Amino acid sequence: MKRSIQQTFSVPFKYTVHFSENVFKKENPLFAEVIGQHQQSKVYFVVDNGVVAKHPDLLNEIRAYAQAHKACLVLCADPLVVPGGEEVKNTKKYVDQILEACNANGIDRHSFIVAIGGGAVLDMAGFASAIAHRGIRHIRIPTTVLAQNDSGIGVKNSINVYGKKNFLGTFAPPFAVINDNTFLPTLEDRDWRSGISEAVKVALIKDASFFQWMEASVEGLREREIPPMEELIYRCAKMHMDHISGGDPFEMGSSRPLDFGHWAAHKLEQLTDYRLRHGEAVAIGIALDATYSYLKKMISYSALHRIISLFQQLGFVVHIPELSQKHLLSDGLEEFREHLGGELTIMLLSDIGKGVEVHQMDTDLILLAAEHLRDFEEGKFELNT
Ligand SMILES: NC(=O)c1ccc[n+]([C@@H]2O[C@H](COP(=O)([O-])OP(=O)(O)OC[C@H]3O[C@@H](n4cnc5c(N)ncnc54)[C@H](O)[C@@H]3O)[C@@H](O)[C@H]2O)c1
Ligand SMILES: [Zn+2]
C-alpha cells in the first residue's frame, strides 16, 4: 500500500538589533533587559582577544555587571577569550572549546551564549551555539563596522573547512544583537574602513540615495567621525534586516542579492590566505562586477567612475595582482555556484541603486575588467574599449 503523511508548519523568528553605548556600564540596563528579568539565567561569554587588548577593562566590567544584575544573570564560567580574525574560523578547536564549556557548565537551551567581537568570532561562536543542544540562545555584540552593519545582524554562522570559506555552518537567527558604538574608535583603520564596502554594496543594488549620501559623507567617514559612521551602520543594518525578512532568509533558492561582489571576494580572501579583510575583498569584488557591468554596457562610464572613486576616496584598493589570474576567476565562479548549491546566479548592476541577476559570466571579459581595475588603481581612468 502506498501511503504518505503531509507535514507543514511555519515558525516565526523575531529578534531585535539594539543600538546603544557602554553596554557593560552597570547603569546601562539594556543587556539585563535583553536577557529578561524573570529568573536568573546562565550566561557564557566568548570574547575576541583583539577587543580585550584594546578594552582591557571589558572582562572586569562584564563580571561587575553580572554581579550588579545578578537577579537576572549569572556567569556560569569565566569568559572565554579567543583569537580575533579569520584564524578563529580556520580550525574546529574553538568550537570544541565552547561545546566543552556547555557540557561542563550545564549550559542549556534556556542559557545564553554571548559573543563579543568581529564577524569572525561571531560566526564561530554562533555556529557552536547553534549546534550545542540543537541551539542555545545566542546574543551577538558585534565590535567591527562590518559585524555591526552586516555579518553580526543576520542569520548565518560558520567556520572554514577543507580550505573553503564558510563550508560548515547553519542558519540560526540570534536571540538579539546589541550594537555598541563605543567599540568602534579602537578599530584599526583597515577594520574601520572594511565594513563600509558592505554599505556600498547594499546601496548599489537597492538604494541610490544611500549611495549619494555616502558620496556626500565621504570625508567624515574617512576621518573616522562617529556620527556619519553611526548613520551608515544604521542604514546598512536596516537594509540588511529588511532584505532578510522580505526575501529568502534561509537561502533556499540560488539567488543571493546580498552576495553582490562576493564571488570574487571569497576567492581573493582564500588566495591571499586571508591577508585581505573580508570587506577589503568585497570592495575589489564589487569594483570588478561593476566594471564588468560597464563592459557589458549595463551601466554608464560615469556611474562606474562614481563607484570606483567612492572606493578610492574611502581608501580602498580596487586591484591586487591575484585578480588577474585566469584560473582564479573561473575557479571562483565554480566555487560560488557550489556555495549557492544550484544554478550560478550573479548580481550585476543596471544602474546605481539597481541590481540585476545573470546566470553566466564571460571569463575573458572578467579578465578585461580586472585589467581596467589595475589601470584605475594606477590612477589611469581612460578606457580603450
Ligand atoms: N555570517 C555572515 O552572514 C557573515 C557575513 C559577512 C561576513 N562574515 C564574516 O565576518 C568575518 C569578518 O569580520 P570582520 O570584518 O568583523 O573582521 P574580523 O572578525 O576578522 O576582525 C578583524 C580584526 O579586528 C579585531 N577587532 C574586532 N573588534 C575590534 C575593536 N572594537 N577594536 C579593535 N580591534 C577589534 C579582531 O580581533 C581582528 O583582529 C569573516 O569571517 C566573514 O566571512 C559573516
Ligand atoms: Zn560580506
CA angle 155, 36, 57 (to 5 degrees): 80
CA 185 centroid distance within chain: 19
Q: Are residues 197 and 212 in the same domain?
A: yes
Cell of 74: 549569572
The residues near 173 (Cβ < 8 Å, ≥ 6 apart) are 13, 15, 155, 249
Ligand 1 atom closest to Cα of residue 156? 1
Distance separating alpha carbons of residues 315 and 194, to the nearest angstrom: 10
Element (H, E) at 365: helix 363-377
Element (H, E) at 372: helix 363-377
Element (H, E) at 74: strand 73-75
Ligand 1 atom closest to Cα of residue 145? 16
Pocket mutation for ligand 1, best pick of 122, 144, 240 (most atoms within 8 Å of C-beta): 144
Distance separating alpha carbons of residues 43 and 56, to the nearest angstrom: 20
Centroid of ligand 2 to alpha carbon of 107 (angstroms): 31
pLDDT class of 201 with cuts at 50, 70, 90: very high
Q: Are residues 55 and 20 in the same domain?
A: yes
Q: Mean per-residue pLDDT for 157-182?
A: 94
Q: Are residues 123 and 158 in the same domain?
A: yes
* pLDDT over 90 at 60, yes or no: yes
Task: Examine residue 248 and state whether it is found in any structural domain, yes or no.
Answer: yes
Q: Return the residue matching grid coordinates 555556484.
A: 337
Q: Mean per-residue pLDDT for 282-308?
A: 97
Q: Mean per-residue pLDDT for 336-364?
A: 89
Cell of 218: 565621504
Q: Are residues 146 and 33 in the same domain?
A: yes
Q: Are residues 28 and 173 in the same domain?
A: yes
Q: Are residues 214 and 355 in the same domain?
A: yes
Task: Examine residue 254 and state whether it is found in any structural domain, yes or no.
Answer: yes
Task: Examine residue 9 and state whether it is found in any structural domain, yes or no.
Answer: no
Q: Return the residue matching grid coordinates 556547555.
A: 102
Q: Are residues 284 and 371 in the same domain?
A: yes
Residues having CB closer than 6 A to ligand 1 are 48, 50-51, 54, 84-86, 89, 117-121, 123, 143-144, 146-147, 150-151, 154, 156-157, 166, 183, 186-187, 191, 194-195, 277-279
For residue 247, the enclosing domain spans: 189-377
pLDDT at res. 192: 97
Q: Are residues 39 and 143 in the same domain?
A: yes
pLDDT class of 193 with cuts at 50, 70, 90: very high
- Nearest Cα residue to 259 out of 277, 275, 281: 281
Q: Are residues 87 and 119 in the same domain?
A: yes
Query: What is the domain count for the chain?
Result: 2
The closest residue, in CA terms, to atom 27 on ligand 1 is: 118
pLDDT at res. 384: 54
* pLDDT over 90 at 311, yes or no: yes
Instruction: Please give the residue that has the higher pLDDT: either 306 or 38.
Output: 306
pLDDT at res. 163: 81
Element (H, E) at 114: strand 112-117
Task: Examine residue 108 and state whether it is found in any structural domain, yes or no.
Answer: yes
> Of the candidates 164, 186, 208, which is a domain's last residue?
186
Element (H, E) at 122: helix 119-131
Ligand 1 atom closest to Cα of residue 48? 37
pLDDT class of 150 with cuts at 50, 70, 90: very high
Measured CA to CA in angstroms, residue 239 lies from 214, 228, 258 at distances of 15, 17, 10
User: Averaging pLDDT over each range in 209-218, 266-275, 338-347, which range is the top one?
Assistant: 209-218
Q: Return the residue matching grid coordinates 546566470.
A: 359
Distance separating alpha carbons of residues 379 and 63, to the nearest angstrom: 52
Ligand 1 atom closest to Cα of residue 55? 32
Q: Mean per-residue pLDDT for 346-363?
A: 94
The closest residue, in CA terms, to atom 20 on ligand 1 is: 85
Centroid of ligand 1 to alpha carbon of 1 (angstroms): 55
Pocket mutation for ligand 1, best pick of 146, 166, 187 (most atoms within 8 Å of C-beta): 146
> Of the candidates 186, 202, 232, which is a domain's last residue?
186
CB 294 within 8 A of CB 352: no
CATH code of the domain covering residue 372: 1.20.1090.10
* pLDDT over 70 at 177, yes or no: yes
Among 88-97, 217-226, 311-320, 332-341, the range scoring the smallest mean pLDDT is: 332-341
Q: Mean per-residue pLDDT for 236-247?
A: 90
Q: Are residues 84 and 215 in the same domain?
A: no
Task: Examine residue 217 and state whether it is found in any structural domain, yes or no.
Answer: yes
Task: Examine residue 2 and state whether it is found in any structural domain, yes or no.
Answer: no
pLDDT at res. 331: 84
* Number of alpha helices (DSSP H) and beta strands (DSSP E) in the chain: 16, 11
Centroid of ligand 2 to alpha carbon of 186 (angstroms): 22
Task: Examine residue 5 and state whether it is found in any structural domain, yes or no.
Answer: no
pLDDT class of 254 with cuts at 50, 70, 90: low
Q: Which ranges of 247-362 would DSSP assign to H, the alpha helix?
A: 262-271, 278-295, 301-314, 326-340
Centroid of ligand 1 to alpha carbon of 121 (angstroms): 7
How many other β-carbons are positioned within 10 Å of the β-carbon of residue 185?
11
* pLDDT over 60 at 350, yes or no: yes
CA angle 65, 143, 262 (to 5 degrees): 150
CA 181 centroid distance within chain: 17
* pLDDT over 70 at 385, yes or no: no
CA angle 73, 79, 80 (to 5 degrees): 140
Centroid of ligand 1 to alpha carbon of 320 (angstroms): 21
Which ligand ends up closest to the CA of 165? 1
CATH code of the domain covering residue 32: 3.40.50.1970
Centroid of ligand 1 to alpha carbon of 108 (angstroms): 27
pTM given for the model:
0.94
Q: Mean per-residue pLDDT for 218-236?
A: 97
Q: Mean per-residue pLDDT for 248-268?
A: 84
Among 116-130, 239-253, 276-290, the range scoring the smallest mean pLDDT is: 239-253
CB 276 within 8 A of CB 146: no
* Whole-number average pLDDT of the chain: 94
pLDDT at res. 266: 87
Q: Are residues 287 and 242 in the same domain?
A: yes
Q: Are residues 180 and 194 in the same domain?
A: no
Pocket mutation for ligand 1, best pick of 278, 280, 336 (most atoms within 8 Å of C-beta): 278
pLDDT at res. 282: 97
Task: Examine residue 385 and state whether it is found in any structural domain, yes or no.
Answer: no
Distance separating alpha carbons of residues 237 and 223, to the nearest angstrom: 21
pLDDT at res. 248: 78
Secondary structure of 322-353 in HEC code, one letter for each residue: HHHCHHHHHHHHHHHHHHHCCCCCEEEEEECC
pLDDT at res. 101: 98
> Of the candidates 186, 207, 223, which is a domain's last residue?
186
